[in-house]
Amino acid sequence: MSAVASGAGVHSSVELALLGRKSDVKGRLFQAVLLLTLLIALGVLVVLLVTTLRTAWPVLTERGWSFVRSDVSSLPSRAGVWQGLIGSMILVGFVAVVALPLGVASAVYLQEYARDTRLNRLLITNVRNLAGVPSIVFGILGLVVFVQALRSVTGPDSYGKSYISGGLTLSVLVMPIIVLVTMEALRAVPGSIREAAYGVGATRWEVVRSHVLPYAAPGIFTGAILSMARAFGETAPLLLVGSITGYLSTPSGRGPLEVLQGKYTALPTQIYAWTKLPGEEWQANAAAAIIVLLAMILVVNLFAIILRNRYERKW
Amino acid sequence: MVTSALDARITLEQMRGSAKRRRKERLVKAVLGSAAAVGLVVSIAIVVALIGEAVSWLTKIHLSWLWAGAWSPRTNEFDLPTIFAGTVLVAVIALAVAAPLGLGAAMYLSEYARPRVRRSLKPIVETLAGIPSVVLGYFALTVINPDIVKKVFASAGTFTFLAAGIAVGILTVPLVASVAEDAMFAVPRSLREAAYGLGARRRTVTTKVVFPSAVSGVVASLILGFSRAVGETMVVAIAAGATGSALRTFDPLSGGQTMTGAISSLAVGSDQVRGSSLAFPSLYFVGLLLFAITFVLNLVSERFVRRVRRMH
């Protein structure tokens, strides 16, 4: 009886010694502080959504779909986001057509073809640096190259301030990001997959096309989608390449090329313009436009995350 | 017998495959290679465009205009210290917000969160990175400044560097957190286990083992965050009162001009800005400075990231 009791006593004293004599208050506190920083960062997102939604609520409930379908107007009660929404979609379309194939091709070269030479190392370092260049600098590049130098192509009648200029500027901006995420996705495909293909006599391109790219596809698409979302919300470079912040007339009966060479606006530029206008009504409009913008971006992000979680592979 | 066996041997020529296949290979490689060269072309275009325009502007002005006491392009006052001060002020405030939040979040995700929690929290942090800066600008102007800055400091105006800096900081948190978390997560398990084996607690392991091993990555994350904050435009353009002209100031409670803000207000071209024909092209010069600063910061942070890779 007493042996058992003393055994339990030894057991608990050993346990106490192992766990530390007092409970680890500082450690708990440290963990709580760390969790708090994470929660603050996420809490800001919630506060931002809630306050914006509250300001936007009257506009969204009273005007609802007509706010989405209305054009830009000087009257706050008539202004809507339709032109901006269409404009942003055309710009993102440019990114999809120009930056996506170029970016993926570039990444395939750098990751699958390039040997470790000085030139290739320079190319990779250069892409990394481009991804960190402030977006407004790309705006200046677009202004000099697309708006001024190539005016006769990008928009002879709109002083070069056209969808083409805006779309190409955003493409140049997003391309380095697409290259980096694609390279990451390609790197994640194990070498054994490639060697299996080489082993049965495939050429390098056959290996890439039929083995590496299919396995890397989910990663590439996720990255591409996130880059499109980035392009959708990008504002600063568009200010330089002439996205209209005021009234925009969209005459009907123009051909596709004339539309693309014509003046344009985008959703984020409209938000910027409305934020700068005085009066509560414009603030409410800006908030409502932000809700439209965030809704699109969050849906796209969610889609990308689901895609990744669903098709992600563990090797 | 012997000769026929030799004949059946595969020749080098056969191993090369058909000429058509080889031609295709070369073509594909050339196409992919030229796509890769586009990045380099873009970089060269940026440098050439910026330097060309900036130099032609510099030759037309008096250099004393660059030290005029105020930023007022309309009246040919292009005081560089004014916009430098604004930029540094916003970036420092941003880092003061992003460093504790980002590094704290990174430590929690890397060292404390269970794998399932980590997997669900990381995408949310990444979503935060997807919020357009124009939205944060609106948030700074309509919420952070009136509800926080003005409540604490009664003397604050409608546009303040402080509110803009806080908002830029929020924008930078995901970047800092993600780069720092990568570095901490990459610290080998064996280091942690050695410390646990000596009886260290989790806090000790985190602060005395993981953090020092990952310090290069942490430094890289902070430099990248600073660089991002220096280049942030829309928040500053909306919430820091980036109007046509501004006085040289280091007061976080006043509004003023930054490098990016100066470029955007020149581009939008309100009447306060135009007036002098030399006003608009000054944006090329400011753009060149901005490019140079962020370029150096990014190169330095890349150095640090590479050091992490070498270590593990």
Work out the minimum CA distance from A11 to partner chain B, whole angstroms: 19
B109 interfacial to chain A (CB closer than 8 Å)? yes
- Is the pLDDT confidence value at A51 over 70? yes
What pLDDT shows up at residue B4? 55
Establish if B124 touches chain A: CB-CB under 8 angstroms. yes
**Cβ distance of A233 and B131 shorter than 8 Å:** yes
Q: Do B108 and A31 touch (CB under 8 A)?
A: yes
Q: Is B121 touching A (CB cutoff 8 A)?
A: yes
Which of A42, A136, A235 comes nearest B132 by C-beta? A235
Task: Flag whether residue B290 sits within 8 Å of chain A, measured between CB atoms.
Answer: yes
Please tell me what DSSP assigns to residue B70.
E
Check CB contact under 8 Å for B36 and A30. Answer: no
Are B39 and A297 an interchain contact pair (Cβ–Cβ within 8 Å)?
no
Count how many pairs of residues, chain A against chain B, have C-beta atoms within 8 Å: 256
Q: Can you list the residues of chain B whose pLDDT is less than 50?
A: 1, 271-272
The beta-carbon neighbor of A275 closest among B124, B137, B170 is: B137
| Cβ within 8 Å, pair A128-B302 | yes
A228 to each of A94, A221, A310, how far by Cα in Å? 10, 10, 20
Of B100, B134, B302, the CB nearest to A268: B134
In sequence order, what are the residues at sequence separation of 6 or more whose Cβ sits closer than 8 angstroms to the Cβ of residue B2?
A: none
For residue A2, pLDDT over 50 is answered with no
Inform me whether the C-beta atom of residue B146 falls under 8 Å from chain A C-beta atoms: no
Determine, for residues A51 and B139 on separate chains, whether the beta-carbon distance falls below 8 Å: yes
With tokens 């794998």, the residue in question is: B115
pLDDT bucket at A150, cuts 50 / 70 / 90: confident
- With bands split at pLDDT 50, 70 and 90, how would you rate the model's confidence at A109? very high
Of residues B21, B102, B234, nearest to A272 (C-beta): B234
This prediction's pTM: 0.88
pLDDT of A18: 67
Measured in angstroms, the CA of A2 and the nearest CA of chain B are apart by 32
Rounded to the nearest integer, the mean pLDDT of chain A is 85
User: Measured between CB atoms, which of B33, B142, B263 is closest to A136?
Assistant: B263
* Residue in A closest to B147 by C-alpha: A51
* Residues B130, A176: C-beta atoms closer than 8 Å: no
Q: What is the C-alpha separation between A84 and B248, in angstroms, rounded?
A: 37
B131 vs A45: CB contact, 8 Å cut-off? yes
Residues of B in contact with A176 (CB under 8 A): 39
CB spacing of B35 vs A102 below 8 angstroms: yes
B151 touches chain A (CB under 8 A): no
pLDDT at A1 over 50: no
Among B21, B22, B32, B266, the residue to mutate for chain A (most A Cβ within 10 A) = B32
Q: Say yes or no for a CB contact (<8 Å) between A137 and B287.
A: yes
Say if residues B300 and B273 touch (Cβ distance below 8 Å).
Answer: no
Residue A19: per-residue pLDDT: 65
B123 neighbourhood in chain A, CB within 8 Å: 305
Look at residue A156 in the predicted model and tell me its pLDDT. Answer: 76
**Binding-face residues of B in 9-28 toward A, CB within 8 A:** 17, 21-22, 24-25, 28
Contact A31 B203 (CB under 8 A): yes
Instruction: Give buried/exposed letters for B21-40 (b at 16+ CB in 10 A, else e).
Output: eeeeeeebeeebbebbebbe
Q: Provide the shortest C-alpha distance from residue A13 to chain B (in Å).
A: 17
The set of residues, in sequence order, having a beta carbon less than 8 Å from that of B84 and lying 6+ positions away, is B259
CA distance B69 to chain A (A): 25
Average pLDDT over residues A195-215: 91
Do A128 and B298 contact (CB within 8 A), yes or no? Answer: yes
Contacts of A269 (CB under 8 A, 6+ apart): A84, A235, A238, A239, A243, A244, A245
Cβ contact, residue pair A140, B283, below 8 Å = yes
State whether residue A63 is helix, strand or coil. coil
Q: CB distance A272–B237 less than 8 Å?
A: yes
Taking an 8 Å cut-off on Cβ atoms, the answer to whether B202 and A27 are in contact is yes
Closest Cα in chain B to A38: B105
What is the C-alpha to C-alpha distance for residues B51 and B56, in angstroms, rounded to an integer? 8
A271 contacts B134? CB cut-off 8 A: yes
Residue A109 has its nearest CB partner, among B36, B173, B232, at: B36
- Of the candidates A44, A52, A203, the beta carbon closest to that of B170 is on A44
How buried is residue A299: exposed, middle or buried, by Cβ count under 10 Å (0-12/13-18/19+)? exposed
Q: What is the DSSP string of B111-169?
A: IIS-HHHHHHHHHHHHHHHTS-HHHHHHHIIIIIIIIIIHHH-TT--SS-HHHHHHHHH
Subunit contact A38:B295, Cβ cutoff 8 A: no
In chain A, DSSP finds a helix count (H) and a strand count (E) of 15, 0
**The pLDDT of residue B271:** 44
Inter-chain contact B135–A301, Cβ cutoff 8 Å?
Answer: no
| B27 interaction partners in chain A (CB closer than 8 Å) | none
Pick the closest to residue A92 from A251, A245, A238, A291 (CA basis).
A238
The pLDDT of residue B191:
92
Measure the CA–CA gap between A141 and A136, rounded to whole angstroms. 9
Q: Between chains, do B128 and A114 touch, taking CB under 8 Å as contact? A: no
Q: pLDDT at position B1, please?
A: 46
> Confidence band (pLDDT; 50, 70, 90) for A301?
confident
ipTM confidence: 0.88
User: Binning pLDDT at 50, 70 and 90, where does residue A93 land?
Assistant: very high
CB contact under 8 A, B234 and A132: no
Structure tokens at B84: 């430098």
Q: What is the pLDDT of residue A47?
A: 92
B211 interfacial to chain A (CB closer than 8 Å):
no
* pLDDT tens digits, one per residue of A165-186: 999 999 999 999 999 999 999 9
Q: What is the pLDDT of residues A237-292, one digit of tens each?
A: 998 887 776 667 666 667 777 777 778 888 999 899 888 887 788 888 899 999 99
- Please answer whether residues B245 and B211 qualify as being in contact, where contact means their C-beta atoms are separated by less than 8 angstroms: no
pLDDT at A67 over 80: no
